Structure 1
């Protein structure tokens, strides 16, 4: 179980670094808002984060 938690944490950090490298600070804000919204079960906050990430992805594509 601890190994799975370490691997999951490492993947989360790697994903966060990828978002920051590719999309800058706004990507981190969107990712954090989405993660906090999911953890807190707050659909409005999570939705705002998802919209920010979708707008960044649409802009780069």
Structure 2
């Protein structure tokens, strides 16, 4: 079981680093809102995080 926790923690950290590199601070904020909303079972908080991430992904490339 500790190995599974370690692997999942590494995956989460890797995903956060990719989001930070690709989408900047706003991406991390959106990911944080989404994760906190899921953990707290708050649909409005997780929806806000999902909207932030969707807007970042859908924006036109410069």
Q: Same fold per TM (> 0.5)?
A: yes
Aligned length: 61
RMSD of the TM alignment (CA)?
A: 1.0
What are the Cα deviations for residues 2-59 of structure 1, in whole angstroms up to 9, with x where unaligned?
Answer: 0000000000000000000000000000000000000000000000000000000001
TM-score using structure 2 length: 0.95
Structure 2: gaps of 5 or more residues: none
TM-score using structure 1 length: 0.96
Q: Flag as ranges the 4+ runs of structure 1 deviating above 3 A.
A: none
Structure 1 position 60, deviation (Å): 4.8
State the alpha-carbon separation in 1 of the partners of residues 32 and 55 from structure 2.
15
